[in-house]
Amino acid sequence: MSGESIAKEANSAFAELKVLTNSERSQALENIYKSLKDNKSSILEANKVDLENARSKNLSSSLIKRLDLGNPGKFDSMLQGILDVANLPDPVGKVTLAKKIDEGLNLYRVTAPIGVLLIIFESRPEVIANITALAIKSGNAAILKGGKESYQTFKVMSNIVSEALSHTKVPSKAIQLIESREDVADLLDQDKYIDLVIPRGSNELVRNIKSNTKIPVLGHADGICSIYIDSKFDLEKAKRIVVDSKTNYPAGCNAVEQLLLNKSIAEDEVKEIINSLIDEKVTVHVTPELKRVISGLNRDYIVDADDSSFDREYLSLDISVKYVDDVKAAIDHINQHSSKHTESIITEDEEIANLFLKSIDSAGIYWNASTRFADGFRYGFGTEVGISTNKIHARGPVGLEGLMSYQYQLKGDGHIVGEYVGGGGEKLFVHEDI
């Protein structure tokens, strides 16, 4: 089937989905939950085939980890996620503004689904369950395009989801699972029918999608997060936060990639901070003045920073470190070099912290906390759509709200503009909140 037909069908399904009630949408999720639960063994079998293929191709261990649905607790928490979403309050039709325009003429702003989502993901098969749940709950249609690594798992799960939907009010074309053989480029051309693309995967995937479509893309290519340690700071907190931000999960987009040190920090404290990283096998990429200060430390983990060091996303046990003059220099550096994901300041000086919080132009700005907190689950949003470094629409970790738009409803009784000022008449608008 062509990308255009797939997108058109999704668009028609969206029109049907848009008018269903919350209980009809939630019922469909419960059906999907039951079917996936009943078919756990066949899904895990298919997943094993994908895993064997991945191992035989020597794919990276982090990819294999992401691919593995058999990891303890992963399948059950995927299932639980569907029920959690089903039980959330209805996100559709909430009135977020109500205004009396004139007698008998009232304006309402009402939450509404966006339309058709195109989700492109690589190796995490549980994304199918996550996104299907979020899309149906929010009244959006979704086209899911999986990567070839998870092809077998994907095929089995997609059949189960389609079958489960066929017994519900949700049209089965509301969730279309596209096998990896079909052409993603063709789908990225369907800006007439598709309203939002959500890529979940490597930064290469995201960057490639962003430069090949006119459809808005929600997500992030890079996560170049920074930590700045100010002159007045607590050494123990600094070490904890820096080590956690770098080593808790180095492949995460919220791992720290650069550390900025106030130049007035005592040399022995600088050494202690850097050494806490080296103790965890982190390689520090340092500028010459910093290299002199830490010359006594284990040289196996010290390399020279180069021109690109402060624009790099390592996704590994590496970090770029440099001195800055003061908080203002740190802010300037971050606003120029960060990917606008998440940045943290470590200081005991509230005024300095507030300047940092106010000045940084990123989705997340932290004070004395690890950058690793940038995550929908940790923020308490439940299932996460992704993390956005966009500056319009949804920003940072995106939950169900990021899949919602709004519409204006105006209810009158024969009202026309020609009777009001500005339209040729004399009547004045009331513009009162109701």
What residues from 337 to 376 belong to the interface with a second copy (CB under 8 A)?
353, 355, 357-370, 372-374
CB nearer to a second copy: give 8 or 48: 8
Looking at the Cβ atoms of 300 and 413, the one nearer to a second copy is 413
Q: Given the structure tokens 């059950």, which residue do they identify?
A: 76
Give the three-state DSSP class for 344.
strand
- Does 310 participate in binding a second copy (rule CB under 8 A)? no
Asked if residue 428 binds a second copy (CB under 8 A), the reply is no
Residues in 376-415 at the binding interface with a second copy, rule: CB under 8 A: 377-380, 390-393, 395-397, 405-415
Rule CB under 8 A: say whether 105 interacts with a second copy: yes
Tell the smallest beta-carbon distance from residue 254 to a second copy (Å).
Answer: 9
Q: Which is nearer to a second copy, 35 or 111 (CB)?
A: 111
Question: Helix H segments across 107-199?
Answer: 127-138, 151-165, 184-188
- Pick the closer one to a second copy by CB: 53 or 335: 335
Residue 152 or 262: the one with the smaller Cβ distance to a second copy is 262
Write out the binding residues for a second copy, residues 311-330 only, by CB under 8 A: none
Shortest distance in whole angstroms from residue 11 CB to a second copy: 8
Residue 196 or 274 with smaller CB distance to a second copy = 196
Residues 78-97 that bind a second copy (CB under 8 A): 93
With a CB cutoff of 8 Å and minimum separation 6, the contacts of 273 are: 229, 235, 238, 239, 242, 259, 261
| Region near a second copy per CB under 8 A, out of 24-32, 44-52, 124-132, 233-241 | 233-241
The CA radius of gyration of the chain, in Å to the nearest whole number, is 25
Q: Which of residues 235-254 bind a second copy (CB under 8 A)?
A: 236-237, 240-241, 243-245, 248-249
331 binds a second copy (CB under 8 A): yes
Min CB(333)–a second copy separation in Å: 12
Cβ 350 to a second copy, closest distance in Å?
10
Site for a second copy in 124-163 (CB under 8 A): none
The least CB distance from residue 292 to a second copy, in Å, is 29
Least distance in angstroms from the C-beta of 285 to a second copy: 23
Specify the residue, 92 or 261, whose C-beta has the smaller distance to a second copy: 92
Sign of the Cα torsion 323, 327, 328, 331 reads positive
Local structure of residue 154 (DSSP, 8 states): H
Contact 27, 154 (CB under 8 A): no
- Which SS3 state, helix, strand or coil, does residue 287 take? coil
Element (DSSP H or E) covering residue 353: helix 350-359
Kindly provide the b/e burial profile for residues 203-242, where b requires at least 16 CB atoms within 10 angstroms of the residue's own CB.
bebbebbeeebebbbbbbbbbbbbbbbbbebebeebbebb
Q: CB–CB of 361/354 below 8 Å?
A: no
Nearer to a second copy, 91 or 146 (CB): 91
Q: Per CB under 8 A, does 203 bind a second copy?
A: no
Q: How far is CA 405 from the centre of its chain?
A: 17
Number of residues that bind a second copy (CB under 8 A): 82
Q: Which amino acid is at 287?
A: T
Cβ at position 299, least distance to a second copy in Å? 27
Nearest to 323 by CA among 291, 351, 298: 291
Contacts (CB under 8 A) with a second copy, residues 253-292: none
Q: Is 185 near a second copy (CB under 8 A)?
A: no
The Cα 277–Cα 268 span in angstroms is 15
| Token couple for 354 | 């507030």
Residue whose CB is less far from a second copy, 91 or 397: 397
Which one of residues 234, 279, 280, 313 is an interface residue with a second copy (CB under 8 A)? Answer: 234
Please count the CA atoms within 13 angstroms of the CA of 380 that sit on its side-chain side: 0
Annotate each residue in 58-77 with x if it binds a second copy (CB under 8 A) or - if it does not, as one string: --------------------
- DSSP for 114-129, please give it: --EEEEEESS-TTHHH
When asked if residue 195 is in the footprint of a second copy (CB under 8 A), the reply is: yes
- Contact (CB, 8 A) for 116 and 187: no
Confirm or reject binding of residue 57 to a second copy (CB under 8 A): no
Residue with tokens 């390399």: 303
Q: Is 426 in the site for a second copy (CB under 8 A)?
A: no
CB atoms closer than 10 angstroms to residue 195: 20
